[in-house]
Amino acid sequence: MNCANCGQKLPEGNRFCENCGAPVSIELPKMETVHQPVHQQGGPGVPMGGGGMRREEISMKQPQAKKPAKSWIWIIVIALIALGCCCAAVIGGGLIYLRNQGQSWQDVLPDGLEDFSDTSEALPELEIDSPLPEEAAQPTQADETMQEPGYLPEDHMLAVTSSGIWMVNAQSRAATQISYDQLDVPWDLNDGMSPDKKFFAFFTGFGGSPVNPMLVVLDLVNQTTLLQLELTGPIIQPGMEGTHGDPSFEAFGAMQSIGSLAWSPDGTHLAFIAARDGDSADVYIFSRSDSSVTRLSQEAGHASDLHWSPDGQFLQYLSIFTFGTGAGATMEALWVYEFQSNQAQLLETLESNGEDFLAWTDNSHFLINSWGRLCGGAYNLRIVDATSFEQQVIVEEGFTAVAYDPENQFGMFSVAYTYDNCGNSEPLDPGLMIFGESVPVLGADGPIMGEIGRKKFEQIIAYGIRFIPQGNLFTVYGDDGLPYIYYNGPYGYINLEILPEVKGLTPYPSPTGEYWAWASSMNTGLWITEKNSNPIELSPLFTGMPLWSQDGQTIYFFEINRLFSASAPQFSTGTLVVEIPGEQILSLVK
């Protein structure tokens, strides 16, 4: 081999010419082209800039060989490289030393330089995976690209469709699908909304789904999924064949019953029914603070029907052996879980065929009644003390329907039939009855203070009663649907005459009670009235439950896949808020 600079013959293996000092050109082996994988959310072939070049088209190319330079130039280059390596070693060693001492490079800068460094853009902190508790659920990482700064619950609502959930911004009139899961459990969707309106929980995966049923909790602020938790364990699995009485069949029934999930009053915990351990459905608690999941109950029966006390210190629930085929269930017991002692307390062993929870009357007492197959109706309406376990029976005899106003501690119940096999007392005469502390109980010396009395209120036949707290209304249903509405006026409850335009519809008062919307899940039509006067028709096609804004001045409703709004005081023809393509809106949640 000869030197390319001076022509001197060189021995094999020399890197520099012994005559002129020029470096010897060495032929490099050919390099294989390496394609960089694409990890971007858009998938392969996403343009990454550079005149439309795709990322996978970028490869390492072999540089062209340059002619050798003079020896002094190479000496300078080598010296600069050596100097750079020394500087890098000093700086790197210094950073390692500062880290070991618990300091950062800002700590050793002068004040002026430190202030200047604060003006630069902060680097994102590295996410470090830490082990979760043994029963902790792994939350889904939030997608920062979907975060919506300045989230205001009053400006947003959820539109539940046949194939998922959409977040609708009423101000910007924009809709974003935040979940593709189907809500296939027949409970009140408002139960899934947390009290602070920032999280929404629901069940999915029932109805013959091949996957395990899931509890899903959505983070509405960031529009991400906070929790996806399987409701079943190794013993209870989907697709298992079973009939009434089989543990797996009854456990699935418990999870799909009304009251299978409930947020605590402060919104920090979510109680729900699941069959994750053993062969029965039990009560579990999900904590928002650390995403942990804890099992609370271990009864032989299947837990059902969850109700928090107003202060969040008690959680009332039932345990049921079998849910039956329509003629009533086989009950086990009535329970409360006390969070101060972290224990489940047995309140009563049940012999009924069902129990209906009405309301908490205060932080430690609640109203509940029994249902019996032989009785043919409800009976044993009573107040239960969750601390002393004592009970006060209000109606021992059979009755048809009941509703209660916890704020005014006043209720109504109806007797539509003669019930001969309910309780030990004589059957009650048909009619509409009232009860509460405001109904006097007469003693030898006059009314007894603090006692709950009852008396006949109206001689009417009613098959259903409902209390609507927004307007302090009792709606009473008879043979012709809704014939009576009782409004709490200054001198007691007054029977309101229902306008002919809204016959067959149910009132939905605004939060202020100034306006009433009239709608039905069975009949079509949507009307607005000023309480019970001046009817305005908004939609002849609407069916379902409309949604009021927080200030009670705007109402939202839907027709097929289009969401509309109408505002006070005119409530003219609805304004289109958003149209969800290819989807049918089933319900609205705010």
DSSP annotation string for 291-340: -BEEE----SSEEEEEEE-TTSSEEEEEEEEE--SSS--EEEEEEEEETT
Distance CA 371, CA 331 (A): 11
Measure CA of the first residue to CA of the last residue in the chain; give whole Å.
84
Answer yes or no: do 386 and 491 share one domain: yes
Q: Is the pLDDT of residue 77 over 70?
A: no
Average pLDDT, stretch 193-211?
Answer: 84
Question: For position 525, what pLDDT does the model report?
Answer: 95
Angle at 118 between CA 113 and CA 123, to 5 degrees: 125
Average pLDDT, stretch 358-367?
Answer: 96
| pLDDT category of residue 480 using cuts at 50, 70 and 90 | confident
Mean model confidence pLDDT for the chain? 79
Q: Is the pLDDT of residue 18 over 70?
A: no
| pLDDT category of residue 49 using cuts at 50, 70 and 90 | very low
Answer yes or no: do 365 and 453 share one domain: yes
Distance CA 367, CA 45 (A): 63
Distance CA 326, CA 309 (A): 30
Distance CA 479, CA 464 (A): 10
Residue 392 lies in a domain: yes
In the numeric block, the tokens 């209000």 are attached to: 394
Number of domains in the chain: 2
Tens-digit pLDDT profile for residues 314-339: 999 999 999 987 778 999 999 999 99
Q: Is the pLDDT of residue 159 over 90?
A: yes
Residue 148 lies in a domain: no
Answer yes or no: do 507 and 471 share one domain: no
Of 136-140, 362-366, 408-412, 563-567, the range with the lowest mean pLDDT is 136-140
Question: For position 352, what pLDDT does the model report?
Answer: 95
Residue 7: strand, helix, or coil: coil
Answer yes or no: do 562 and 588 share one domain: yes
Average pLDDT, stretch 34-45?
Answer: 34
Answer yes or no: do 419 and 546 share one domain: no
Answer yes or no: do 532 and 473 share one domain: no
Domain termination site, one of 496, 522, 537: 496
Q: Is the pLDDT of residue 160 over 90?
A: yes
Q: Is the pLDDT of residue 136 over 60?
A: no
DSSP secondary structure letter of residue 182: -
| pLDDT category of residue 110 using cuts at 50, 70 and 90 | very low
Average pLDDT, stretch 159-167?
Answer: 91
Answer yes or no: do 476 and 550 share one domain: no
Distance CA 429, CA 414 (A): 10
Distances (CA, A) of 202 to 181, 215, 233: 9, 6, 19
Residue 204: strand, helix, or coil: strand
The neighbouring-strand residues paired with 286 are 270, 293
Residue 200 lies in a domain: no
Distance CA 567, CA 549 (A): 10
Question: For position 303, what pLDDT does the model report?
Answer: 97
Q: Is the pLDDT of residue 30 over 60?
A: no
Q: Is the pLDDT of residue 340 over 80?
A: yes
Inter-residue contact 167 to 223 (CB < 8 Å): yes
Domain containing 558 — which CATH number? Answer: 2.20.25
Q: Is the pLDDT of residue 135 over 50?
A: no
Domain termination site, one of 496, 515, 543: 496
Question: For position 162, what pLDDT does the model report?
Answer: 83
439 CB neighbour count, 10 Å cutoff: 17
Element (H, E) at 378: strand 377-385
Question: For position 428, what pLDDT does the model report?
Answer: 93
Question: For position 450, what pLDDT does the model report?
Answer: 66
Question: For position 124, what pLDDT does the model report?
Answer: 35
Question: For position 411, what pLDDT does the model report?
Answer: 96
Q: Is the pLDDT of residue 5 over 70?
A: no
Inter-residue contact 215 to 206 (CB < 8 Å): no
Residue 418 lies in a domain: yes
Average pLDDT, stretch 229-253?
Answer: 77
Question: For position 35, what pLDDT does the model report?
Answer: 30
Residue 270 lies in a domain: no
Answer yes or no: do 485 and 542 share one domain: no
Question: For position 68, what pLDDT does the model report?
Answer: 45
Element (H, E) at 371: strand 365-372
Give all strands of the β-sheet with 562-567 in edge-to-edge order. 547-548, 554-559, 562-567, 575-579
Residue 101: strand, helix, or coil: coil
Residue 319 lies in a domain: no
Question: For position 212, what pLDDT does the model report?
Answer: 80
Domain that holds residue 509: 501-590
Tens-digit pLDDT profile for residues 516-575: 999 998 889 999 999 888 999 999 999 999 999 999 999 999 999 999 999 999 998 789
Answer yes or no: do 362 and 467 share one domain: yes
369 CB neighbour count, 10 Å cutoff: 21
| pLDDT category of residue 424 using cuts at 50, 70 and 90 | confident
Q: Is the pLDDT of residue 366 over 70?
A: yes
pLDDT: which is higher, 353 or 208: 353
Question: For position 148, what pLDDT does the model report?
Answer: 46
Average pLDDT, stretch 87-103?
Answer: 54
In the numeric block, the tokens 């070693």 are attached to: 89
Answer yes or no: do 492 and 505 share one domain: no
Task: Print the SS3 string covering 412-425.
Answer: EEEECCCCCCCCCC
How much of the chain, in percent, has pLDDT values that exceed 90? 52
Residue 381 lies in a domain: yes
Give the list of residues 6+ apart from residue 233 with CB closer than 8 angstroms, or none. 275, 276, 277, 278
Question: For position 21, what pLDDT does the model report?
Answer: 54
Q: Is the pLDDT of residue 468 over 50?
A: yes
Tens-digit pLDDT profile for residues 257-310: 889 999 999 999 999 999 999 889 999 999 999 999 999 999 999 999 999 999
Distances (CA, A) of 19 to 5, 27, 74, 269, 388: 10, 21, 16, 84, 107
Distance CA 8, CA 322 (A): 101
In the numeric block, the tokens 């049923």 are attached to: 213
Answer yes or no: do 519 and 536 share one domain: yes
Give the list of residues 6+ apart from residue 254 with CB closer than 8 angstroms, or none. 260, 273, 275, 281, 302, 303, 304, 320, 323
Inter-residue contact 386 to 336 (CB < 8 Å): yes
Distance CA 504, CA 312 (A): 38
Answer yes or no: do 458 and 510 share one domain: no
Sequential DSSP letters for 29-63: PPPPP-BPPP-STT-TT-B-SSTT-BGGG-B--PP
pLDDT: which is higher, 138 or 483: 483
Question: For position 183, what pLDDT does the model report?
Answer: 81
Of 107-111, 179-183, 366-370, 469-473, the range with the lowest mean pLDDT is 107-111
The structure tokens listed for 247 are: 């543990």
Of 59-73, 381-395, 569-583, the range with the lowest mean pLDDT is 59-73
Question: For position 238, what pLDDT does the model report?
Answer: 59
Distances (CA, A) of 86 to 91, 141, 232: 9, 42, 61
Residue 528 lies in a domain: yes
Q: Is the pLDDT of residue 24 over 60?
A: no
C-alpha 517: how far from chain center: 26
Inter-residue contact 205 to 252 (CB < 8 Å): no
Beta strands 562-567 and 575-579 are antiparallel
Q: Is the pLDDT of residue 368 over 80?
A: yes
